[in-house]
Amino acid sequence: MFKTVYGTARADSGGYLFESVRANIKNGIKSYLLVPEQFSVFTERKVIETLGVKAQTLAEVLTFSRLSNLVLSSLGPLRLRYIDGAGREILAGRALQLIEDKLQYFKSNVHQRGFSSLMAGLVSEFKRYGLSFESLQTVSEKVEKDEFKRKLEDLALFYDTYSRLINENNSDAEDNLSIILPKIKDFEIETDSCLFITEFKSFTPLECQVLQELMKKMSNTVLFLRCNDLVHPDSIFSSASLTYKQLAETAEACGIEVSKPEILPVKDGGKSDLIFLQDNYFNINPEKYDGSPENIFIYSPENHFDEVEQTASIIHRLCRIKGYKQSDFLILARDTDVYSRIMPLVFDKLGINVFLDKRRSILENPYLRCISSMLEILAYGFSYDRVMEIGRSGFAGVSNEEELDVFENYLLSVNPSHAMWNDENEWTYNPDKRAYDIDSINRIKSVMLAPIFELKHSIRGRKKASEITEAVFKYMERCRHQEIMRDICKEYSDNGMVYLAEEYRRTWNSVVSVLDRISEIMGGELITYEKFYDLFISACGGIKIGISPQTIDGAVFSKIDMFRNTDAKVVIVLGVTDGVFPRGYGNEGILTDAEREALREYGIDLAMTASEKSHDEQLLVYNVLSSPSDELYLLAPKSSDDGESLFPSKIITKIENELFDMERENVNDDSEELPEGKEPVFLALESEFIRCCGDVGKFAPKWRAVYDFYAEDEKYGARLADFAERLKAAESGYEILSKNSVAKLYGREIMLSASKMEKYNSCAFSYFMRYGLLAKPRDIAVFDPLSMGDILHKSLERFFSSKNDAVYESITREQCETEMRNIVGEIATGNEEVMYKNSAYYKYLVMRMTGIASTTAWETVKFFRESEFRPYGFEIRIGENGDIPPLKIETRNGTAYVEGFIDRADSAVIGGKRYISVVDYKSSAKKLDKELADAGVRFQPLVYTNAVCEQSETEPAAMLYLQMNDPIIDESKAATDEAFETEVHRNVSANGWVVDDGEVNKAFDKNYGSKKCYMSPKCGIPPDEMQKRLKRAEEKIVESAEGILAGEISVSPYKKRGFDPCAYCDYSGICGKNNS
């Protein structure tokens, strides 16, 4: 007899099933429970929990694969060597290689990465649905549409070739149902036994044929379906109705009695709002729920991390307040990979155990990344990423992490060329002898790269797959991978992380197995490193490792489309955003939906089309919304990890707008409610401390009680006192280093420069980080603007040094360009900081620097034509043994010296006095600003003017910034040569201060006051004001030195409109200053 039992989510199908099995056991009747593969372990556990261990003799859980094994072990043939997912990937690639010349439609796709995997997957679908390649070939002959015909012919050819390769040395489990189908009638099974079919939504044609044979042998077959009405079902249950009709008709055709379907009674009780949601979500015009829901909650976290934190807070709070066990919680997400790395970290803080019910690809394992990076190097050459992937894997033979850090920094600062990577000799280039010990760098290079060179040398010329796999095994042996793997597994096991030890062990076995498979299947075939790498990655990509639960009492985290309705009391759904849940199905695969429909007309029924999958997704929504017995939480983050905006899915909008009157909440939006967990409350207390500026007296009574609790705690008391001290120092606006610390960091007598003092006056903390701790960003191998500036400075110095007695009126622009081209090229070639001298990038840089230097020189020549001032010196050194001795600064806290270089100084004798003009070259537009100069954040020309005037007993004439530039001029503004020169001058003009003295002004620029003037008249300042500003600069030098020697390292950046030292600060992520 065939019987169907059905009901909605509130029906007690589990109770009915196990009561029926219990009754059979009492009568000595054996029961078989047929379930989908992913439900087998859960169902077995349920049998033991409900019926006891002894019940297993009369209650056996079956899946189609278990049934196949039972029949084959009883009746044969004995199939011992099953091909796994990795083997299928390799054979699919091999099959495509063999038939490449015969393909018509897919010829251009053969070498696309991942295509072999798609083809193997489609053949697996053919086998599951009982479609042979002969049937496919027959249909292809009937199809009239040429494109579809060629596609089916290619698929039939691939199917045949692929199956032949498998059957040569292996068996495919996908074939088992087809093999056992004619044997089931001879399979011995108790004639009075009962078959219970549950948890299925539909069956393939091949599965239906197997069920037909089973029903013939069983006395009773009971089908359980989730449906509200088998004759006139709601749209979401239509697939269940079709499945009922399909099996009922099959039973009738076999002469089996079909009894009237039985509808299951609804469980008593339940939360009214959850029941309302289940009954009305799919109604077209539902009535609104009367009142606010008490057991349905919607949250909008900021991002995925906040989402996990709120989930942990929900679990912790409900366990504390309502007495739930952690195992009462089911957490669901569509993309579990987004959360699986975050969840253990966050949950551990609150003592929440979580079982990640998912399978992880071995591609994520460090050892697999090590091997794949090595193969990628063979295929595509060395690179920073590939080499460091090996280094960071733990299998490179470099155990000292600090040495590895230094090696990584070296690679970043050098960015080795192809020739440098492939040079087996020791590297000699050292960009920073203070930072890198080249011998240590070469030692690490030898440990990491020598085995790869050895592997490459072992195979010359054309390569066979077996030769590459043998070389890879030798590489693994040479690098002691097995020993390292054994040590890693032991360390994880000893530290209680058995699951990680198991993950590494299985990854090792998988890598060895894949290499063996490639050698076996592709052994004698000629293959490139590129193809071998693609084959290896494709094969490993299909291997996933399941993680066993580490605790009995723990929340379960499962993929949303693989979850089991385990009667969870509280269900928390993560990532309920548009396009994620429910998912949209747009990618149709190798066979389009239209082609699948066309095949159905020829009697070939395959997997669901995209539209059918979308319909099936609605049933998944129903199952999720109906899964909790007590409470449902839906979380929709506002943004992704990349900062991209996310929007709530239509599930949330429908619940909010059509079914209930409710607002979204935040777990901790109630100011009277503390966060969950001791550590989160302590962090909240720190925030309250900051809000009250460190004054405990300003605490509200609640926070004062919290403060007293933590102050008396042995563990947190010390942390709280330390935080209070640091907050007090931060609130006071400064922190002070001890004299001893200052001496150790800067020396007993510190050497300063104008740029260092500008850095200190901009932000003392930034100065401390850069010149005290010597913390600086990693050097990246690009052409440093400082190196470019150095070349430009030297070029200008060399050009004008050769023009001491020149008549500037006779120098032409062409002469500037010709001479500068030679000078810049010569200096750049001799600069060891400039790399890749034969590269196009290098040539572009030299061309760019030549343009900047020649334009700047030409503008300076034009200045000298109109001025009585002449070069006084270039790159004038202020310091020990320099052109000018260092400025000695005596302060209350010690002695400091100011040194540096003056880019250019010009001089002229006017009225019997020698006047000096100091010029500071800049790569971008700068101007002197009195406020910034007084603050000491932009006063370099003043510092050096004081130094020159004090040394040479001269008077200040001008202090200027000159932008070195080769501007791009709009053609419409440069119709004539004169207009062009005017535009260039406007973009390369000097800016600063000139003493407002008529005689000096005329000597400085004959055109002073006119439009042709080198400097704007607005730059003029009276002589006495000039002296005041220079005096203020002297005072600021002393103040700066005193502050540095006093140990001041305050995080108090100087800010003014147009000047923000935090904008490009390397340390903004360290100081914690809110610069918004």
Contact between 632 and 295 under an 8 Å Cβ cutoff? The reply is: yes
Of 371-375, 437-441, 497-501, 1046-1050, the range with the lowest mean pLDDT is: 497-501
Task: Pick the more confident residue, 982 or 852.
Answer: 852
Whether residue 693 is predicted with pLDDT greater than 90 in this model: the reply is no
Instruction: Render 165-183 in DSSP notation, one character per residue.
Output: HHHHH-B-GGGHHHHHGGG
pLDDT of 241-254, one tens digit each? 889 998 999 898 88
Q: For residue 312, is it within any domain?
A: no
Q: What pLDDT score does 1075 carry? A: 47
Measured CA to CA, the distance from residue 1009 to residue 989 in angstroms comes to: 15
Instruction: Render 910-956 in DSSP notation, one character per residue.
Output: ETTEEEEEEEEEESS-----HHHHHHTSS-HHHHHHHHHHHHHT-EE
Q: For residue 872, is it within any domain?
A: yes
Contact between 686 and 680 under an 8 Å Cβ cutoff? The reply is: no
Q: Are residues 823 and 927 in the same domain?
A: yes
Q: Are residues 516 and 430 in the same domain?
A: yes
Supply the DSSP symbol for 466: H
**Torsion, Cα of 792, 796, 799, 803 (10° steps):** 180
pLDDT of 566-607, one tens digit each? 678 999 999 999 988 888 765 567 888 888 888 888 888 887
Verify cis geometry, omega within 30 degrees of 0, for the bond prior to 261: no
Whether residue 278 is predicted with pLDDT greater than 60 in this model: the reply is yes
pLDDT of 67-112, one tens digit each? 988 888 888 776 556 777 777 888 888 888 889 889 988 888 888 8
Q: What pLDDT score does 916 carry? A: 93
CATH number where 603 lies: 3.40.50.300
Task: Pick the more confident residue, 641 or 1028.
Answer: 1028
Verify cis geometry, omega within 30 degrees of 0, for the bond prior to 637: no
Q: How many CA atoms lie within 13 A of 558 on its CB side?
A: 17
Instruction: Render 135-147 in DSSP notation, one character per residue.
Output: HHHHHHHH---HH
- Name 557's Cβ contacts closer than 8 Å, sequence gap at least 6: 331, 332, 333, 336, 339, 340, 343, 354, 355, 356, 357, 358
For residues 418-451, one letter each, b for 16 or more C-beta atoms within 10 angstroms of the residue's C-beta and e for the rest, the string is eeebeeeeeeeebbeeeebeeeebeebbebbbeb
| Arithmetic mean of pLDDT, 347-370 | 81
Q: For residue 778, is it within any domain?
A: no
Take residue 194 and report the two structure tokens written for it: 């009962």
| Arithmetic mean of pLDDT, 648-666 | 85
Q: Of 754, 737, 775, 770, which Cα lies nearest the Cα of 1044?
A: 737
Q: What pLDDT score does 1022 carry? A: 92
Instruction: Render 975-1009 in DSSP notation, one character per residue.
Output: SSHHHHHHHHHHHH-EEEEEE--HHHHHHH-TTTT
Of 40-44, 451-455, 504-508, the range with the lowest mean pLDDT is: 40-44
Instruction: Render 1034-1068 in DSSP notation, one character per residue.
Output: HHHHHHHHHHHHHTB-------BTTB-TTTT-TTH
Whether residue 202 is predicted with pLDDT greater than 60 in this model: the reply is yes
Measured CA to CA, the distance from residue 346 to residue 342 in angstroms comes to: 6
Q: Indicate the pLDDT class of residue 385, thresholds 50, 70 and 90.
A: very high
Placement of tokens 């995080």 in the chain = 1051
736: helix, coil or strand?
A: strand
Q: What pLDDT score does 836 carry? A: 45
Q: For residue 380, is it within any domain?
A: no
Take residue 598 and report the two structure tokens written for it: 């066309």
Contact between 648 and 301 under an 8 Å Cβ cutoff? The reply is: no
Task: Pick the more confident residue, 267 or 548.
Answer: 267
Q: Are residues 94 and 157 in the same domain?
A: yes
Placement of tokens 């089931």 in the chain = 184
Q: What pLDDT score does 742 carry? A: 87
Task: Pick the more confident residue, 473 or 542.
Answer: 473
Q: Of 901, 937, 915, which Cα lies nearest the Cα of 994?
A: 915
Measured CA to CA, the distance from residue 1073 to residue 1061 in angstroms comes to: 12
199: helix, coil or strand?
A: coil
Contact between 308 and 343 under an 8 Å Cβ cutoff? The reply is: yes
pLDDT of 984-1000, one tens digit each? 877 777 888 999 888 88
Q: Are residues 123 and 227 in the same domain?
A: no
Q: Are residues 908 and 999 in the same domain?
A: yes
Of 468-482, 603-617, 902-916, 950-964, the range with the lowest mean pLDDT is: 603-617
Q: How many CA atoms lie within 13 A of 142 on its CB side?
A: 12
Count each helix (H run) and each strand (E run) in the chain, helices first: 41, 23
Q: Indicate the pLDDT class of residue 336, thresholds 50, 70 and 90.
A: confident
| Arithmetic mean of pLDDT, 59-67 | 90
H or E stretch at 3 = strand 2-7
Q: What is the mean pLDDT of the chain?
A: 84
Which residue type does 1037 have?
Answer: I
Which residue type does 527 have?
Answer: I
Q: For residue 890, is it within any domain?
A: no
Which residue type does 187 have?
Answer: F
Q: Are residues 789 and 695 in the same domain?
A: no
Q: Are residues 301 and 447 in the same domain?
A: no
Q: Are residues 703 and 727 in the same domain?
A: yes
Q: Indicate the pLDDT class of residue 564, thresholds 50, 70 and 90.
A: low
Q: Of 147, 268, 14, 260, which Cα lies nearest the Cα of 592?
A: 147
Domain boundary residue, one of 519, 546, 573: 546
Q: Residue 876 to residues 797, 943, 992: CA-CA distances in angstroms?
A: 10, 13, 20
Q: For residue 257, is it within any domain?
A: yes
CA geometry: angle 720, 722, 725, nearest 5 deg? 110
CB atoms within 10 A of CB 197: 22
Q: What pLDDT score does 238 carry? A: 84
Q: What pLDDT score does 706 carry? A: 86
Q: Are residues 855 and 996 in the same domain?
A: yes
- Residue 571: give the domain boundaries: 289-307+326-358+550-659
- Name 587's Cβ contacts closer than 8 Å, sequence gap at least 6: 610
Whether residue 363 is predicted with pLDDT greater than 90 in this model: the reply is no
**Torsion, Cα of 508, 510, 511, 515 (10° steps):** 140
Whether residue 1009 is predicted with pLDDT greater than 70 in this model: the reply is no
CB atoms within 10 A of CB 701: 7
Q: Indicate the pLDDT class of residue 497, thresholds 50, 70 and 90.
A: confident
Q: How many CA atoms lie within 13 A of 743 on its CB side?
A: 6
Q: What pLDDT score does 91 carry? A: 84
Q: For residue 1046, is it within any domain?
A: no
Take residue 739 and report the two structure tokens written for it: 């004299």
Q: How many CA atoms lie within 13 A of 230 on its CB side?
A: 20
CB atoms within 10 A of CB 998: 10
Q: Indicate the pLDDT class of residue 469, thresholds 50, 70 and 90.
A: very high
β-partners of residue 571 are: 330, 632
Q: Are residues 874 and 947 in the same domain?
A: yes
Q: Are residues 807 and 819 in the same domain?
A: yes
As a residue count, the chain comes to: 1076
Please give the backbone phi and psi of residue 28, each rounded to the nearest 5 degrees, phi first.
75, 20
When computed from its CA atoms, the radius of gyration of the chain, rounded to whole angstroms, is 39
Measured CA to CA, the distance from residue 26 to residue 710 in angstroms comes to: 61
Take residue 799 and report the two structure tokens written for it: 């050009």
CA geometry: angle 325, 331, 332, nearest 5 deg? 160
Measured CA to CA, the distance from residue 69 to residue 63 in angstroms comes to: 10
CA geometry: angle 15, 19, 23, nearest 5 deg? 175
Q: Are residues 39 and 75 in the same domain?
A: yes
Q: What residue spans of 199-264 are helical by DSSP H? A: 205-217, 238-253
Domain boundary residue, one of 514, 546, 578: 546
- How many domains is the chain partitioned into structurally? 6
**Measured on CA atoms in the order 279, 280, 284, 286, is the torsion positive or negative?**
positive
| Arithmetic mean of pLDDT, 815-837 | 75
Q: For residue 458, is it within any domain?
A: yes
Domain boundary residue, one of 607, 628, 659: 659
